[in-house]
Amino acid sequence: MSDEQWELAEFLLLFLMPFQRCTERLECNEPNTEIDYVFFAYNTLYNHLYDVEAKLKSGTGIGALSYAPFMPSTMKKMQDTLSKYYSRTEIQTVYVDAMILNPRTKLVIAEEES
């Protein structure tokens, strides 16, 4: 493989890692499923997509790589797919409520970063 192909492979590995983690957590292989994690997972994935998209469009860092101009359109499709599945939840507020009621998370998602 060329150096550029290795860079792309490394980017894809790091880019897709949060999706793998969320998928494994949502697969419900644990005896006690946690509905509160659904909202956190979607929020995390949306933020990840927006952050990486901004970096790709910046022209520096990963934005300077040769494949950067092609990635935002793919990421838009990923955002659309996330929105499609998120909108399928009948009562979307149930996930936020579950997160607030969970003593481990409470309002952590709403806290501002310092």
Tell me the pLDDT tens digit for each residue of 65-112.
Answer: 888 888 888 888 999 998 888 777 666 677 667 767 777 666 665 565
Kindly tell me if the per-residue pLDDT of 32 is higher than 90.
no
pTM: 0.73
DSSP letter assigned to residue 78 = H
Tell me the pLDDT tens digit for each residue of 2-19.
Answer: 888 898 899 999 999 999
Q: How far is CA 42 from the centre of its chain?
A: 6
Amino acid at 57: K
Token duo for residue 18: 């949060």
